[in-house]
Amino acid sequence: MIMSMTFAMERETASELIEEDRLMNDNDKCFVVTLDGPAASGKSSVAQQVAEALNLPFVSSGLLYRAATLLVLKHRLLPEDEAAVLALLGKHRVELIARTTGSNRILVDGQDVSAQLHTDDVDANVSVVSRHDAVRDWVYKRLREIKGSFVIEGRDMGTVVFPEARHKFYLTASAEVRAKRRVGERAAGLRQITEALKRRDQLDAKQLAPASDALKIDTTELTAEQVVAKVLKQIRTAVN
Ligand code: DC
């Protein structure tokens, strides 16, 4: 199993905010922002914009579970077969490329598969694949190898993977609003998307508990820009 994270970011350009945070806290700890929440809660676009505003790399942890699922589907394995899934992951090189602007790219054996990761098929199987402890360990190990400061989104970033992060957020929204945001991005219609999201919420429930020290933001009535503004304001307040 080979996997690497590539950051196209120059550390010297990290914002004054980070420097302030470092000075205020009198330490050299990295500046890690976690954004967790259920599917289509807006965390990916919010995290991306927050990362851009702070000039930090953005990491989408769900893409690693999606890449594992794509491999399982391509090789026609049973998503439930944990041992077979782990053996398969061991045979492929999966790279996550994170940048300060734009979305992440995923390369499998050198080939960019990013455009294949958000299909109804991957959506329908990713919860089963990501439930396996072996798969979670495969992802956790890679995420914990990330050095420096970054903004990361997922389900359990603030609880399990980066419990020490100082800036934690948890985004929610009603299933209906989340489904509406997905229409157009998926082949299915609104009703099917709503049902699929609710099913995924149930299957992902174990990973979905918010960190007790995360700021919870209900995004049902908010635009992505408003959520980004709230997140940045909270970070500034916490730093000052
Ligand atoms: O955020 P997303 O919809 O791309 O995530 C896809 C799936 O990956 C999600 O249904 C559950 C799993 N996942 C997870 O278990 N833990 C994470 N931190 C991120 C995603």
**Does the pLDDT of residue 102 top 50, yes or no?**
yes
The listed range with the strongest mean pLDDT (66-75, 100-109, 205-214) is 66-75
The arithmetic mean of pLDDT across residues 186-203, rounded, is: 87
Nearest CA to ligand 1 atom 11: 127
More confident residue, 81 or 13: 81
- Nearest ligand 1 atom to the CA of 65 is 8
Nearest CA to ligand 1 atom 16: 155
Q: Which CATH class name applies to 31-225?
A: alpha beta
Nearest CA to ligand 1 atom 2: 62
- Nearest ligand 1 atom to the CA of 36 is 18
Tokens of 102: 């734009």
Tokens of 217: 């933001």
Structure confidence at residue 22 (pLDDT): 60
Q: Mean pLDDT across the chain, nearest whole number?
A: 87
Give the pTM.
0.86
Buried residues in 117-130 as b, exposed as e (16+ CB within 10 A): bebeebbbbbbbbb
**Does the pLDDT of residue 20 top 80, yes or no?**
no
- Nearest ligand 1 atom to the CA of 131 is 15
- Nearest ligand 1 atom to the CA of 43 is 1
Nearest CA to ligand 1 atom 5: 62
- Which of 65, 135, 140, 203 most suits a substitution to test ligand 1, by most atoms within 8 Å of the C-beta? 65
In the chain, where the domains are located? 31-225
